[in-house]
Structure 1
Amino acid sequence: MYTNILLCYDGSREGRLALREGARLAQITGAGVTLLAVVETVSGNALAQAADASVLSYQQDELRSILDEGRQRLTAMGLAPRIRMQFGDPVASISKVAAETGADLVVVGHHRHGFWTRWLSRSVAAELSDSLGCSLLLAQKVVEDKDLFPKT
């Protein structure tokens, strides 16, 4: 079914749900896993970075820590993830890594927003569904520990 899954991980509650659901699919299908975090460097964020170069360094350090946490979680689940950090627009970065790694499934967390927030801001999920050449899973399912960790 799936041979290569790209897990997009930001350390948030929604990101952790996506990590667990994507990891479970990888366990079931025997798929390889790439764990990706994106340092967003577009629009207003870029202006802040130009004003203070330490912002980018801080974001990198924070994402390295988040990726390490994700790697540890996936390794404990019996998986051997490849780790990637990208810089730029999330949609472009995720699409690029999905193509480079030959992903046939991209898993992202679903961040719930109210009507006005959704209306005023872009939908990364909608943009991804238009730009990816593979399937997209907006993870929301709670996957229990008993289903994730190999029995010893």
Structure 2
Amino acid sequence: MYARILLCYDGSREGRLALREGARLAQLTGAGVTLLAVVETVSGNALAQGADVGALSHQQNDFETILEEGRQRLTAMGLSPEVRLEFGDPVAGIARVAAETGAELVVVGHHRHGFWTRWLSRSVAAELGDKLGCSLLLAQKTIDDSQLFPKG
């Protein structure tokens, strides 16, 4: 069904659900896995947050730690992920890595927002749906540990 899956991971609760659901699909299909985190450096966002080089470096270190956590989780599930850290716009970064890796499925967490937040902010999922040349899964399902970890 899928030969290559791109798992987008940010360490959040929603990101962990996406990691688990994407990992389970990879186990079931025998797909190769790429684990991706994108450090957002969109100029408007960086200016709004007062980001400087030191803050970006700190954010990079945080994401490297998050990616290592994700890599360890996937390895414990019997997978051998390729790990990537990208910088820039999340939608552009995810679409680029999906194309570069030949991903047939991109898995992202679904962050629930209230009406006003959704109205005022962009929808990464909607933009990804328009930009990707493959399937997109907004992961929300809770996967039990007994389904993920191989019996030894």
- TM-score, normalization by structure 1: 0.97
Q: Secondary structure at the match of 2:142?
A: coil
Give the corresponding residue for 1:12: 12
Q: Does residue 105 of structure 1 match 2:85? A: no
Could you tell me which runs of 5 or more consecutive residues in structure 1 were left unpaired when the two chains were aligned.
none
Q: Deviating runs (4+, > 2 A) in structure 1?
A: 43-49
Give the corresponding residue for 1:119: 119
Q: How far, CA to CA, are the matches of 2:140 and 2:54 in structure 1?
A: 34
How much does 1:11 deviate? 0.1
Letter aligned with residue 18 of structure 1: A
Task: Map 1:69-84 to 2 at 5 A.
Answer: 69-84=69-84
Letter aligned with residue 128 of structure 1: L
Give the corresponding residue for 2:44: 44
Q: How far, CA to CA, are the matches of 1:149 and 1:20 in structure 2?
A: 11
Deviations 1:30-81 (A, max 9, x none): 00000000000013333233xx310010010000000000000000000000
Q: How far, CA to CA, are the matches of 1:139 and 1:5 in structure 2?
A: 13
Give the corresponding residue for 2:22: 22
How much does 1:91 deviate? 0.2
Give the % identical residues: 79
Q: Which region of structure 1 is more displaced relative to structure 2, 40-49 or 119-128?
A: 40-49
Deviations 1:75-117 (A, max 9, x none): 0000000000000000000000000000000000000001111
Q: Secondary structure at the match of 2:151?
A: coil
Q: Secondary structure at the match of 1:133?
A: coil
Cα root mean square deviation, aligned: 0.7
Q: How far, CA to CA, are the matches of 1:98 and 1:72 in structure 2?
A: 22
Number of residue pairs aligned between Structure 1 and Structure 2: 150
Give the corresponding residue for 2:63: 63
- TM-score, normalization by structure 2: 0.97
Q: How far, CA to CA, are the matches of 1:9 and 1:149 in structure 2?
A: 19
Could you tell me which runs of 5 or more consecutive residues in structure 2 were left unpaired when the two chains were aligned.
none
